[in-house]
Amino acid sequence: MKLLIERIKQFNENVTFQSLKEFINTLHMDDLPYEAFLKEPETPGDYGRNVFTMHPFECVLINWPAGVASAVHHHQGLFGYVWVLEGELDNIFYREGEGLLSEISIDRYTRNGLIPEPDGVIHKLHNQSTNQRAVSLHFYFPAIESFEGMRIFNTETGDRGLLSNEAKSAFWDETPGHFKQVERKAFKFESFEERNAKKSHVITHVIPKPDALRVNQMNSEYFCEQAEKYDHGDQIHEHRKSYINAINTQIANDLKYHVKSKSHLDIAIGTGRRALDIKQQSGLSYKLTGVDISEEMCRIARQRGIETHHLDWVNDEVDFDEKFGSVTFLYAFGHLATPQCRLTTLQKINRCLHMGGVFYFDVFSINNQNEWGPRALADFNNKHLAASGYDAGDVFYRKIGFKKLAFIHYFAAEELADLLEKSGFEIAWIHNIGYVKNPGEIVQSGNEGNYFVKAVKIAEVVVPH
């Protein structure tokens, strides 16, 4: 860490938001042996601070025990960055209005994530983990010589405090001398959940984008968390119910009148409810096999009498005794983390199908004006997410009322066509199916609805090991 301090002292440029970021980008995490420099919090529930230098800008190492958060605080007259060295930190932004403090967005930063803290921002940092610490390195200009005058907010009581020069951190502490002034019940707090109560899901960017294995793990944890309630969610949201029923019926009719499959594989089978509905509607007696990444989902599908395998389709070895006449991958293909994962998946599906076998799947469209696609594209450009490992159309999200995050990718039609061509498939048809607007109906505009695809295996491909 002495080398870091020397480099900071040698910094001879004007300190601006941009020049500070450029300096941080020259640092290498592996050159920062921080373990011996971590300090324990002085107060239970607080975080530990170790200030390395104050000039020409401040650099401070912070130790966040599991579950610890800063108070909601207002940066006024200073700016900086927080570099996550270990664990995960949620950066939660707030907007202050007349007697109201609203939680407006949440982004999650993991190892090597760089959190911007522009002048004037109201936010807090929170280590959501219940069993792991987080460690971060903070850079501020001008240096925080004293916390005196910083405003912090207690969202549980509605109190607003002005810190004194005796305050050791931006932490709500009723110890005498910590505050210069406290206004009791100064505001009403509106949580992120309350602001989005009418929504089923909310976007939470994860920066940098985790690798494919971690994304798979996140998706598995997400679906395990809500497995018991998953089918109920499909039934209470009318637009989703209409959408799913329309696709189920179209697949069932196609299987009955055109394919007449004798064996069917359902990837991401979930609880098995949809797969059984399609089979029943088709009137066929084909052998049904399921695969899912969530062990809890597999358990429920097995209870429904379906032969179900707990598999990570991308990374695990896939080897069935027979080839299938048809495959479905519904409401889940977009959960695959990268273009390479999608290509590998399609190549494995190709290997599992008879020549001429059919593959049905649906994905969210990046052009759908009624969904997250346009926002995903705007965030990709405006927040420079490519630098954090994102592809255009990538989104991390959380279901309201739950804690786990999942990943979804929004597709362009050209992207789908390219993937299918590379994996030995020919598109039989591709429909735009209404989702939020005109749910379940085939719509003509490319700017609404999801893509629903039937592809036919026309060539054998080699699956790379």
Final residue of a domain: which of 142, 169, 195? 195
pLDDT at residue number 235: 56
Residues 245 and 188 reside in one and the same domain: no
- For residue 8, name the pLDDT band (cuts at 50, 70, 90): very high
Residues 128 and 181 in one domain: yes
Pair 268, 383 in one domain: yes
Is-contact 193 171, C-beta < 8 A? no
Per-residue pLDDT tens over the stretch 240-279: 899 999 999 999 999 999 998 899 999 999 999 999 999 9
Torsional sign, CA 100, 184, 193, 112 = positive
**Residue 405 forms part of a structural domain:** yes
Tokens of 145: 């010589």
What Å distances lie between residue 10 and 5, 7, 81, 161, 405, CA to CA? 9, 5, 19, 37, 41
342 shares its domain with 375: yes
**pLDDT average, residue stretch 68-87:** 96
Please compute the mean of the pLDDT values over residues 302-326 and round it to a whole number: 92
Whether residue 123 sits in one domain with residue 63: yes
Looking at the fold, whether 72 and 125 belong to one and the same domain comes out as yes
- Tens digit of each residue's pLDDT (9 = 90 or more) over 345-385: 999 999 999 999 999 999 999 999 989 999 999 999 999 99
Range of 327's domain?
212-457
The pTM (predicted TM-score) of the whole model is: 0.88
Q: How far apart are CA 268 and CA 298, in angstroms?
A: 9
Question: pLDDT per residue over 190-240, tens digit each?
Answer: 999 899 888 888 999 999 999 999 998 898 888 888 766 656 555 556 888
The answer on 256 and 172 residing in a single domain is no
pLDDT tens-digit profile of 385-433? 999 999 999 999 998 888 899 999 999 999 999 999 999 999 999 999 9
Shared domain check, 216 and 156 = no
What gap in Å lies between CA 35 and CA 32, rounded to an integer?
A: 9
pLDDT for the residue 230: 59
